[in-house]
Structures are given as C-alpha cells and as structure tokens.
C-alpha cells in the first residue's frame, strides 16, 4: 500500500495532466481543481489522508469515471472472480489429470508428446493466444463472441434461459485461453511432483502388495504429491491474476485487469491503487486457503516436519 | 541441444538484424499508400498500418526483446543473490525480518505493479524497462538463494573456512555462494523466458518499448485494434516469441536436469 503510494507520487503528472495542461487553461483554473481534489497538499499530508481513508474502507473517488472507486470495483470484481474461478477449476483439473497420465507412462512416447505440448503451452504469450482464439473461433469460425460479458444489444431482451446461455457463450473463449495457459504449468508441476515420490518406500510396499500401477498412482502417490500442487496454487495466484490482466484486455472483459489498464491510461490514481490493493488481498486469501488445504492433505505439514524440499516452482511472471 | 541451437540462432539473428532486414524497420514505405498489406513476396510478413515492413520490424524487435530480458534477469539475479545470501547466512532474526519482507512483496501481483509503475513513468526507454523489471524480479531469486545458503552454511568445509580465519563476507562469497550457483543459473534461464513474455505483454499494452522503435510486443499492439483484418500483425511476431521462449525453456529444463541429477526426470 505504502509502496504503491510512493511509486505513484514519484512519477510525474497527475490525473489532470491530460485535461488541464493545455496551454489555453489558465494557471488559476489548474490551481483551483488541484486544490479541490487535494493535490496541492504536502505529500506527507496526502499520505496520511490516503491511509486513513483506506483504513475506513474508503477507496476514494474515480476522477476519470466520476464515481466512487467502490462502485467501480463492485462492478469489476464479480467479473474477474467468475472468469478466474472457472479458469482455475478447469486448469487445475485438467493439469493434474495430464500430469498423472504422464507420470504413469513415464518415459513413453505419450509422455514425451504431451511434454512437448505442455512446454509449448507454458511458453505461449497469453495475449497472443487470446488473439489467436478470437481469430480462430470468433472471426474465421464464428462460434463464439469475441469479447464482452453479454451481448451489448440483445441481452436485456432475452429470457432467463437465453440470458444465461448468452453469458455462458461469452465466457468460453477467455476461460479456455486462461485454462490452456495454466493447465500446461500445472501439468508440468504435477508430473514432476509425482515422479519425485515415485521411488519412495511406501510406494514400493504398495507395489509389492500386488497393486496395479494405476492403483499405486491414484491411491498412494497422488495424495503425497498433492501438497506441492496445492502449494503451487497459492504461489501461482499472483501470476495468474497478472495473466488475467492481458486476457481481460484482449477480450474486453470488464474485470479488475482491464480496469487497471484503463485506469492507468487515464491516470486515475485512486482506481489504480484500489486494484493493486484488491489484487493483493485476493492473492493473500488464496494463499491462506492453499496453506490450509495443503496441511489437510499432508499431515506432515501440520507439525512442520516435512521430509522433502519443495520442487522448484515453474511460475509464470 | 536442439533448444540451445535455436537460442543461439535467435541471438545471432538479433545481432545481425540490421544487415539482414529487407527494409528499414521504421521507414514508412510508400507514404502515399498508407495502409496495411497482407503477406506477399515483397513483404513475407505483410506491412503494418503505417506501411512498415513487419518482417524487418520483427527482426529488429528481437534485439530489444532479448536485451531487455537478458539484462533485467541479470539485475534481478544479482540483487536476489546478494539479498538471499545475506538472509540465509545471517539466519535468526535478520533472516526472519528480511524474508517476511520478501513474502509481503511477493503477494503483490507483479503485472499490476509493473503496469502502475511504467504507466506513471511516462516515456519508457529500454533502460527504464530493464531497471523496473529487474527490480521487481529478484524476490523469488532471493528465496531460492537463501534456502541454498541455509543448507550449506553448517557444512564442515564452511566451518573449516571460518576456523582458518576467513571473514564472514569471504566465507559467504568465496566458499558458500559458488556452491549454491547451479540452481540460480537454472532459475535465471527460466527467468529469461519469463521476462521475454512479460516485456512482450507490457509493450503490447503500450507500456513497454515505445514506438517507432520495434519490439515483438509493440508490433502486435500496432495491429491489435484491427486484429480481425490484420491477422499477420499478430501471428508472425507471436510465433517469434513462442519459438524463442520455448527454446529458452528447453535449455532451462536441460540445465536443471544436469544440475540436479536427483530430479533428472523433470526435463
């Protein structure tokens, strides 16, 4: 929070730079508006007011949108959470499944082929994949809308069922794009976590009991390899939110990421700061959840007695 | 090896780009017919809305993209190594304090932070980009180095070095750090791949390398608002990024397998 404030005020310009620095505007007019919004106060004074405001839950007023920041955020947060929730669920489900398949056929042609694909998915620029998705499935093969949350013209006139369908159609492309990007990282991680435990004693015991490789993997190994993947979930959240910024921008999805990019363009400080704060809070909540979940799955973590160092994290951004 | 070959090829292309580019990357060809053309024999990657040759811009753009990636990762790795080494070697309260700070900073989504800083910076040059990306990238490096140093500092040969009268700084930098370097090199390699993507993304948002200087990201931005019509503005630079990043990642995986035989299967 403090860091955000410092960074913003270190940079030249303020929200009026665009509107008021026109040479035809007199100095008196500039001074008047800067005074009204408090930009003529000393920096320590502005800082105290800024912190006090946030402590009271007041995020300020969006100058570019002429609305309280709270209202702007209240509109954007649900959109971001919906997209993020769907994409996280799909990418972890898909990624874990792919990782398990790869680990079961470790070293085979299937493993290598999937490995090449996940490496490619992991190396794709997010915004490029989003553009390709639009080109392929909205322009050349017009199956889905290219952007937005609902149809801008027809949505208000649709019945409840058709309206829900309209929303679903709009979420497909952005959600799938995000899923492809993160499922690749999750799969790489899951595969390596499984192979890490593959030679542990308890698995040898399980195999010696005559269990099939499938049973060994799904019953015994997966549970032990689950904790690192859940930890990855916590660690990957900031990067995931970062990737979502680009996806939201390309698909014109009115969430926090697109809001941040637009607010930056209009030097709307209050909104930029609020998005950074909300983003960090979301990440903190996610990490907490991940820690609790990891302790639930792997009892060794509750006491802090952990047998194995965590594998290096293949994080994006 | 294939990965390394591609990386070397990309670097060579970037170095000789001005010699092999068919046109001047910032020249507007035929100012009277200011428009974007699809790929043709004369312009294999097409031209952009300002009638500039996209192939030349992609070739020249590789220099900025690679230079920013390499130098900012160098910055981040240096900062992170020193910070993490000090925390790990000092241990106790100093370590706690230093690492809690890193934990807190890591919870801020880096992209949001970068967008904020760069947008407010005004005119962004490649140097600014390197500093800003470097200064936000050292956190995870410091964690890695700290855990390595923590594991190494109670080894017998460290005790021996101390017993011989080596100062703490000498013990840390001459005896411990060289042994902690291989995971750092692996993470730096993967970091280069990451920063190429990051720089492309920021330039794509108009926050990175400023036009008319080309970078892979801003070439794509030039066509972004007409993506339906100008597909070549997006497809070709994107492929350049994908191939480069994939090759760097392959090299990183290979290095990791070589550095840590216990985890050879990771590659």
Please check the confidence at residue A7 and state whether its pLDDT lies above 60.
no
Percent of chain B exceeding pLDDT 90 equals 7
pLDDT of B83 > 60? The answer is: yes
Among A residues 100-139, those touching chain B with beta carbons less than 8 Å apart: 106, 119-120, 122-128, 131-132, 134-135, 139
Q: Report residue B22 as tokens.
A: 């068919």
Query: From the CA of B165, how many Å to the nearest CA of chain A?
Result: 32
Domain assignment present for B5? no
The answer to whether residue B38 is domain-embedded is no
Q: Does the pLDDT value for residue A48 go beyond 70?
A: no
Interface test with A, best of B10, B112, B235 (most A CBs within 10 A): B112
3-state per-residue secondary structure call for chain B? CHHHHHHHHHHHHHHHHHHHCCCCCCCCCCHHHCCCCCCCCCCCCCECCCCCEHHHHHHHHHHHHHHHHHHHHHHHHHHHHHHHHHHHHHCHHHHHHHHHHHHHHHCCCHHHHHHHHHHHHCCCCHHHHHHHHHHHHHHHHHHHHHHHHHHHCCCHHHHHHHHCCCCHHHHHHHHHHHHHHHHHHHHHHHHHHHHHHHHHHHHHCCCCCCCCCCCHHHHHHHHHCCCCCCCHHHHHHHHHHHHHHHHHHHHHHHHHHHHCHHHHHHC
pLDDT category, B262, cuts 50, 70, 90? low
User: Which range, of A25-34, A64-73, A241-250, averages the lowest pLDDT?
Assistant: A25-34
- CB–CB contact A246 B107 (8 Å): no
Please state the domain extents for chain A: 2-58, 81-298
Q: Is residue B133 part of a domain?
A: yes
- Position B72 scores a pLDDT of 93
Which architecture does CATH list for A81-298? Answer: Orthogonal Bundle (1.10)
Among partner residues B120, B200, B263, which is closest to A8 by beta-carbon distance? Answer: B120
Flag whether residue A189 sits within 8 Å of chain B, measured between CB atoms: no
- For A160-219, the pLDDT digits (tens) are 788 888 888 888 889 999 998 888 888 888 888 788 777 777 777 777 777 777 777 777
**Residue B176 lies inside a defined structural domain of this protein:** yes
Q: With a cut of 0.90, is the ipTM above it? A: no
How many angstroms separate the CA atoms of B37 and A265, rounded? Answer: 30
Residue with the larger pLDDT of the pair A153 and A96: A96
* Report field, pTM of the whole predicted structure over 0.95: no
- Count of the separate structural domains present in chain B: 1
Q: What is the mean pLDDT of residues A114-126?
A: 87
Residue with tokens 């008319």: B212
In a domain, B240, yes or no: yes
- The lowest-confidence range among A51-55, A69-73, A261-265 is A51-55
Whether residue A57 contacts residue A274, with contact meaning beta carbons closer than 8 Å, is answered with no
Domain housing B122: 46-266
Q: Which residue has the higher pLDDT, B57 or B41?
A: B57
pLDDT in tens, A281-299: 887 787 788 778 777 776 6
CB atoms within 10 A of CB A44: 8
What pLDDT does A10 receive?
Answer: 47
Where residue B131 sits, what CATH number does that domain have? 1.10.3720.10
Tens digits of per-residue pLDDT, B201-223? 888 888 888 877 888 888 888 77
B8 within a domain of the structure (yes/no)? no
Higher-pLDDT residue of A32, A83? A83
Least confidently predicted of A222-231, B7-16, B61-70, B133-142: A222-231
């Amino acid at each position: 929070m403090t860091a955000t404030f410092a960074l913003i005020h270190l940079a030249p310009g303020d929200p009026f730079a665009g509107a008021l620095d026109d040479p035809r505007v007199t100095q008196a007019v500039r001074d008047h508006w800067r005074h009204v919004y408090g930009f003529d106060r000393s920096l320590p004074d502005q800082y105290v007011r800024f912190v006090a405001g946030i402590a009271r839950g007041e995020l300020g007023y969006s100058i570019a949108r002429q609305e309280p920041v709270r209202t702007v955020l209240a509109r954007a947060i649900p959109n971001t959470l919906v997209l993020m929730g769907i994409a996280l669920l799909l990418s972890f489900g898909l990624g874990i499944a792919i990782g398990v398949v790869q680990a079961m056929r470790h070293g085979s042609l299937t493993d290598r082929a999937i490995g090449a694909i996940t490496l490619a998915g992991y190396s794709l620029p997010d915004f490029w994949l989003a553009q390709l998705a639009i080109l392929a499935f909205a322009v050349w093969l017009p199956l889905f809308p290219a952007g937005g949350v609902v149809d801008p013209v027809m949505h208000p006139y649709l019945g409840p069922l058709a309206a829900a369908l309209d929303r679903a159609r709009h979420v497909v492309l952005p959600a799938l794009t995000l899923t492809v990007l993160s499922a690749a990282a999750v799969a790489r991680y899951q595969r390596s976590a499984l192979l890490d435990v593959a030679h542990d004693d308890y698995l040898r015991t399980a195999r010696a009991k005559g269990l099939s490789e499938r049973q060994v993997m799904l019953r015994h190994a997966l549970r032990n390899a689950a904790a690192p993947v859940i930890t990855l979930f916590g660690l990957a959240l900031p990067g995931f939110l970062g990737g979502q910024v680009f996806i939201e921008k390309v698909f014109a999805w009115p969430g926090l990421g697109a809001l941040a990019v637009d607010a930056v363009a209009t030097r709307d400080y209050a909104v930029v700061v609020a998005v950074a704060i909300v983003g960090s809070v979301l990440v903190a909540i996610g990490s907490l959840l991940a820690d609790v979940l990891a302790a639930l799955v792997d009892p060794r973590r509750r006491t802090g007695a952990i047998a194995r160092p965590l594998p290096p994290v293949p994080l994006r951004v | 090896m294939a990965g390394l070959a591609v990386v070397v090829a990309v670097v060579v292309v970037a170095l000789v780009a001005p010699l092999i580019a068919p046109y001047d990357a910032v020249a507007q060809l035929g100012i009277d017919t200011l428009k974007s053309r699809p790929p043709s024999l004369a312009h294999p990657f097409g031209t952009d809305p300002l009638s500039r040759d996209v192939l030349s811009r992609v070739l020249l753009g590789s220099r900025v993209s690679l230079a920013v990636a390499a130098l900012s990762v160098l910055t981040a790795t240096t900062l992170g190594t020193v910070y993490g080494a000090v925390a790990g070697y000092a241990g106790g309260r100093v370590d706690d304090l230093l690492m809690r700070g890193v934990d807190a900073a890591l919870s801020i989504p880096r992209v949001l932070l970068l967008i904020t800083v760069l947008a407010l910076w005004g005119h962004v040059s490649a140097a600014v980009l390197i500093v800003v990306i470097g200064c936000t990238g050292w956190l995870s490096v410091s964690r890695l180095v700290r855990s390595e140093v923590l594991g190494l500092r109670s080894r017998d040969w460290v005790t021996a070095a101390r017993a011989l009268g080596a100062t703490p700084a000498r013990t840390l930098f001459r005896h411990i750090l060289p042994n902690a370097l291989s995971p750092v090199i692996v993470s730096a390699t993967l970091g280069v791949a990451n920063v190429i993507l990051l720089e492309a993304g920021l330039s794509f948002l108009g926050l990175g390398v400023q036009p008319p200087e080309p970078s892979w990201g801003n070439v794509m931005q030039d066509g972004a608002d007409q993506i339906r019509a100008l597909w070549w503005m997006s497809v070709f630079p994107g492929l350049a990024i994908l191939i480069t990043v994939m090759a760097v990642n392959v090299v990183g995986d290979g290095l990791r397998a070589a550095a840590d035989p216990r985890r050879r299967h990771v590659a």
